Structure 1
Amino acid sequence: MKLSTKGRYAVMALIDIGLNSNGKPVSLADISERQDISQEYLEQLFGKLRRSGLVTSARGPGGGYVLARAPAEICMSDVILAVDEELRVTRCDGDAVNGCVKGERCCAHDLWSSLGRQMMYFLESVSLEDVVQKRNLALAASIKQTTARHVRPLM
């Protein structure tokens, strides 16, 4: 799986807000210090997160960012997609119209494409609230539900 720092850091930053906001704005400087992410990089990410409607900003003393929606309404996939992140488990581009290898679809294309879809299904099933509340059982249940839909019965 290839997930760049944009996606990882955006997720970490929103989790940080979920853990530390208590209804008040969280400054990028505080997120930067706690998560060891450059403040300049966070500024770029938060511009995208704001435009995607995941956070709102508050200016002035005590300013920073707050979640624009309830944590239960924010899926991890929303965060990753908001920062223009693409989950790729293959070198193929999308549906590989132009081909993966020598102008043709590679022999594992369907496998890797399916894996990428499963990861997105999983990320769609996990809310920010799940992560903030450390709901490990809920995460495990989501994996089981996703897996059960796509497992073929043994003959």
Structure 2
Amino acid sequence: MLVSTKGRYALRVMVDLAEHQGDGRIPLKQIADRQDVSEKYLENILSTLVRNKVLTGMRGKGGGYRLTKDPSEFTVGQILRLTEGTLAPVACLNGTCGACPRTDECPTVGMWTQLDTLISSYLDGVTIEDLRCAPRGLDYTI
């Protein structure tokens, strides 16, 4: 599993909004400036999050973005699935290639399935609030 910039930036935006949730709606420009991401690229990511009801967005004067729920109610796994589409480590587990005809005799499918379960379990156990509270520059660990 390789997480793209879209997934990584989405997580950074979620943490940014969590840190500034008391400030009301946060304009796109402020988020883009703080995260050093182009507004155009960020707008694409934010539209995905708004479409999936993770954020609310409003245009115009006084507009901006905010979280729809408390940061503790969003998991890293949830956000990455929205932006990446899948967390599966191999194509035969992501549901897009149909049932593999070799599944019954494949010596590696069990290992890939367990890895998929570990990845999902770990990422579904880390919330945006956990990331917000984690010391900067350190890896998040359980």
TM-score above 0.5: yes
SS in 2 for 1:56: strand
> What is the number of equivalent residue pairs in this alignment?
136
Q: Deviations over 1:44-65 (max 9, x none)?
A: 1111111211111133223210
Matched, 1:129 2:118: no
> For the Cα contact (< 8 Å) 1:13–1:31, is it kept in 2?
yes
List gaps (5 residues or longer) in structure 2. none
Instruction: Kindly report which structure 2 residues correspond to 1:1-155, keeping only aligned pairs within 5 A, or say none.
Output: 1-94=1-94, 97-99=98-100, 104-105=102-103, 106-134=106-134, 140=141, 143=142
Flag the 1:21–1:94 CA change in 2: closer, same or farther, 3 A.
closer
SS in 2 for 1:83: helix
C-alpha separation between the residues in 2 aligned to 1:83 and 1:132? 19
C-alpha separation between the residues in 2 aligned to 1:109 and 1:12? 33
List gaps (5 residues or longer) in structure 1. 144-155
TM-score normalised over the length of structure 1: 0.73
- AA paired with 2:15? I
Greater RCO structure (CA 8 Å; 6+ sep): 2
Q: 1:93 Cα shift? A: 4.5
> For the Cα contact (< 8 Å) 2:3–2:84, is it kept in 1?
no
Identity %, equivalent residues: 30
SS in 2 for 1:66: strand
